[in-house]
Chain A
Amino acid sequence: MDIATHVFSALYQFGDAFAFLVLSACGLAVIFGMMGVINLAHGEFIMCGAYVTAATVHAGLPLPLGILAGTIVSALVGVVVELAVIRHLYDRPLDTIVATWGLSLIATQGTLIMVGSTMAGVGTPFGSFQVGDYSYSIYRIVLFCAALGVLAALYALFNWTRFGVLARATIQVPHMAAALGVDTRLIYSLTFACGAGLAGLAGGLYAPTMTLVPTMGATFIMEAFVTVVIGGADVFLGTAPAGGVLAVVKSVMTSWQGQLFGQIGLLVAVIIVVRVLPKGISGFVLRERT
């Protein structure tokens, strides 16, 4: 009995860490994997999703619709950003990082000016349940399922839809795809919107669990970056296994020494992994290692 509660507790913490890593990273991973662009404003897209979700819930919508609204608004903002800034910088990846960092500064400070230093949160739904001596939030289980759902949906999107086929063609050989009549610019725009929307979804899903402040994106980005660096360019072969491995590191370190050491564990893991597998897990799996 006692062992069973411990096992459940460990699994729960693993699931929680896995959901956080995968949900915060998948938007970044889609954009990086498809376009080679690192979006440093990723955290601000998450913030945008969380704020829109909270605002719509305050306006009376149920939470799932609010999360949907957050996702859609983030995706639309993503389209605008792509058209205005990212589109001009595809051949300069380092400059994209710098430009998106500028956007992140604008978004954080702009939100602070317009909305204020904090926004009323949304209560965590579903309550909790008891296993052994500890009580667990049901919503965390929902988040874990949502992470699995997002991975499944992305797999379906990129493998079974026309958009997915065109998008994969565009990453592999952009010139060839363009020569065959694929509107690669449109594909890039849609991919960026997809990544931004996923960030908004992560923000919406986590909006009920955290305080809404303009700098909340920063709590996500480190985990997102670490997952993408370790995972490499492929969402399924990279982000998902990286999320799994890092979730073990994080949950073990966190239960051993506290939250901060969970994050330090992630950082040490990433520094060691880049030394051993420079192209991440997916690069290793795809034998691109050179």
Chain B
Amino acid sequence: MTGFLSLFRRLEGPQTVGRGPGFWSLFALVLAVALAYPLFSDGYTVGNTVYFFVWVFIALSLCVIWGYGGSLSFGQTAFFGIAGYGYGVLTINFGSAYGFTLLALVIAVAIAALVAVLLGYFMFFGRIAGVFLGIVTLAVTLMLERFMAQTAGPEWHIGSARLNGFNGMSAMPPLTIPWPGEPIVLFADVGLYYLVLGLLVFVYLALRILMNSSFGNIIVAIRENPERAEMLGYDVRKYQLITFVIGAALAGLSGVLYTVWGQYITPSSMGMTAAALPLIWVAVGGRSDLTSTVIGTLVVLAAFQALTIYGSQYALVFMGVLLVLTVLIAPNGLVLGVMNWLGRIATRLTQRAG
């Protein structure tokens, strides 16, 4: 019991908004609704919700790197794409028997993390400053998109997997869990929903623990003042690199799940527009808090999809306006602002009651 309580206590801390029984009972309520949701909905809507959840991982990756770590990376979609293509190449070559798809998921995420180690080494150990970091990561992403877009010819293949240039790869097997008798194939509806929801809750809680641990405090200290953190004896470059790799792995997870969800991945998922969207969700939500990022991402995604249905071409203009206005008016994010406001009201009410 005490072990459980101490674990619970590590979920709260100065780096995350939301604490106490009130917050956690709300969390349990939302989780219960999310668990029961497929019972009241049809397969298509559930599949669409999975699509939303998939993007939350890349938003969380940007939240960790940019919001907590203070290094603005435009390259999250590069890791998204690398892992997505990695999963495609692996599963098309080796099939889905014996639960290999799950292994492919892990390998693909590991590849993305490895690329991040390489790139991050050059960037952070070169001590390049915030603005340049954004440019280098963006240049890498655009380069990767251009490279994948020209792989149309039959000479571009890895094993039996054709890269297919601008049209992208498709028809990779979905995630399959080996099961005695009949393996469980997770198509983009209820099965995948529970898997992705489980992963999401796990990643969210794990990141909460990580950000409130000493590691999280150190990377926030580096964000606030790198020189001071260095004077206190922390190797800034090492912590920034680790943060970057964690973010890349999360973006990679997002990429694999996206590939699994739609069974395709294209170079345009790494393009300029694709790279801008996670930035918008995170900026609008509130980049320096995990909960705000999750809520902001889901709300903006839903709004974007609704806009796309009613006026597809204006949706992106609206997103651009939203981003500019957020930066100008509420630099810490709209959702975070609202949550802090609600928190202040709650404390005032409890004080008055007491």
Residues of A within 8 A of B (CB): 32, 36, 38, 85, 88-89, 92-95, 97-99, 101-106, 108-110, 112-113, 215, 218, 221-222, 225-226, 228-229, 260, 263-264, 267, 270-272, 274-276, 278
- Determine how close the nearest CB of chain A comes to the CB of B123; give it in whole angstroms: 7
The answer to whether B183 has its CB under 8 Å from any CB of chain A is: no
* Residues of B249-301 whose CB lies within 8 A of A: 272-273, 276, 279-280, 283
In the complex, what residues of B have CB within 8 A of residue A110's CB? 317
Please tell me the number of chain B residues within 8 Å of chain A, measured between CB atoms.
Answer: 42
Identity of the chain A residue whose Cβ is nearest the Cβ of B119 in the assembled complex: A271
Complex CA–CA separation, A85 to B280 (angstroms): 17
Interface pair A94/B130, CB less than 8 Å apart? yes
* Residues of B313-327 whose CB lies within 8 A of A: 313-314, 316-317, 319-324, 327
Q: Which residue of B126, B272, B283 is within 8 Å of A218 (Cβ)?
A: B272
In the complex, what residues of B have CB within 8 A of residue A263's CB? 143, 146
In the complex, what residues of B have CB within 8 A of residue A275's CB? 122, 125-126
Interface pair B127/A99, CB less than 8 Å apart? no
Identity of the chain B residue whose Cβ is nearest the Cβ of A215 in the assembled complex: B272
- Determine how close the nearest CB of chain B comes to the CB of A39; give it in whole angstroms: 11
With A38-B134, A106-B317, A229-B135: A98-B279 Cβ-Cβ less than 8 Å: yes
The answer to whether B112 has its CB under 8 Å from any CB of chain A is: no
In the complex, what residues of A have CB within 8 A of residue B104's CB? none
With A109-B313, A274-B126: A102-B140 Cβ-Cβ less than 8 Å: no
Complex CA–CA separation, A271 to B132 (angstroms): 11
Interface pair B123/A274, CB less than 8 Å apart? yes
Identity of the chain A residue whose Cβ is nearest the Cβ of B118 in the assembled complex: A271
- Determine how close the nearest CB of chain A comes to the CB of B302; give it in whole angstroms: 19
With A225-B138, A260-B150: A85-B72 Cβ-Cβ less than 8 Å: no
With A92-B331, A106-B324, A113-B313: A38-B139 Cβ-Cβ less than 8 Å: no
- Determine how close the nearest CB of chain A comes to the CB of B297; give it in whole angstroms: 16
The answer to whether B136 has its CB under 8 Å from any CB of chain A is: yes
Complex CA–CA separation, A110 to B317 (angstroms): 7
Q: Which residue of A97, A103, A226 is within 8 Å of B131 (Cβ)?
A: A97
The answer to whether B175 has its CB under 8 Å from any CB of chain A is: no
List 6 other contacts, CB 8 Å, given A99-B328, A274-B132: A104-B272, A105-B323, A109-B320, A228-B135, A274-B136, A275-B125
Interface pair A102/B327, CB less than 8 Å apart? yes
Complex CA–CA separation, A101 to B139 (angstroms): 14
Complex CA–CA separation, A270 to B123 (angstroms): 10
In the complex, what residues of B have CB within 8 A of residue A228's CB? 135
Complex CA–CA separation, A98 to B276 (angstroms): 9
Complex CA–CA separation, A29 to B186 (angstroms): 50
Interface pair B72/A94, CB less than 8 Å apart? yes
- Determine how close the nearest CB of chain B comes to the CB of A286; give it in whole angstroms: 16
Complex CA–CA separation, A243 to B136 (angstroms): 17
User: Lowest 8 A-B CB distances belong to which pairs?
Assistant: A102-B323, A105-B320, A106-B320, A275-B126, A102-B324, A109-B316, A99-B327, A102-B320
In the complex, what residues of B have CB within 8 A of residue A32's CB? 131
Number of A-B contacts (CB under 8 A): 120
The answer to whether B128 has its CB under 8 Å from any CB of chain A is: yes
Complex CA–CA separation, A70 to B27 (angstroms): 55
Tell me the dominant secondary structure on chain B's binding face: helix
The answer to whether B147 has its CB under 8 Å from any CB of chain A is: yes
Interface pair A101/B276, CB less than 8 Å apart? yes
Identity of the chain A residue whose Cβ is nearest the Cβ of B149 in the assembled complex: A260
Q: Which residue of B126, B128, B321 is within 8 Å of A102 (Cβ)?
A: B321
Complex CA–CA separation, A276 to B139 (angstroms): 18
With A106-B317, A218-B142, A260-B150: A93-B126 Cβ-Cβ less than 8 Å: no
With A105-B320, A109-B316: A93-B327 Cβ-Cβ less than 8 Å: no
Interface pair B321/A106, CB less than 8 Å apart? yes
Complex CA–CA separation, A92 to B142 (angstroms): 25
- Determine how close the nearest CB of chain A comes to the CB of B149; give it in whole angstroms: 9
In the complex, what residues of B have CB within 8 A of residue A278's CB? 126-129
Interface pair A93/B272, CB less than 8 Å apart? no
Identity of the chain B residue whose Cβ is nearest the Cβ of A89 in the assembled complex: B327
With A274-B128, A278-B127: A101-B143 Cβ-Cβ less than 8 Å: no
In the complex, what residues of A have CB within 8 A of residue B323's CB? 98-99, 101-102, 105
- Determine how close the nearest CB of chain B comes to the CB of A45; give it in whole angstroms: 15
Sample (17) of A-B pairs whose CB atoms are under 8 Å apart: A32-B131, A38-B131, A38-B135, A93-B131, A97-B131, A99-B328, A105-B276, A106-B320, A106-B324, A113-B313, A113-B317, A218-B142, A225-B138, A229-B132, A260-B147, A270-B136, A274-B123
Interface pair B131/A94, CB less than 8 Å apart? yes
Complex CA–CA separation, A113 to B313 (angstroms): 7
Q: Which residue of B119, B126, B319 is within 8 Å of A105 (Cβ)?
A: B319
With A99-B323, A260-B150: A276-B135 Cβ-Cβ less than 8 Å: no
Q: Which residue of B131, B140, B283, B327 is within 8 Å of A36 (Cβ)?
A: B131
Interface pair B72/A97, CB less than 8 Å apart? yes
- Determine how close the nearest CB of chain B comes to the CB of A13; give it in whole angstroms: 20
* Residues of B174-195 whose CB lies within 8 A of A: none
Complex CA–CA separation, A109 to B327 (angstroms): 20
B61-86 vs A: 1/0 string, CB under 8 Å? 00000000000100000000000000
Interface pair B324/A103, CB less than 8 Å apart? yes
- Determine how close the nearest CB of chain A comes to the CB of B318; give it in whole angstroms: 9
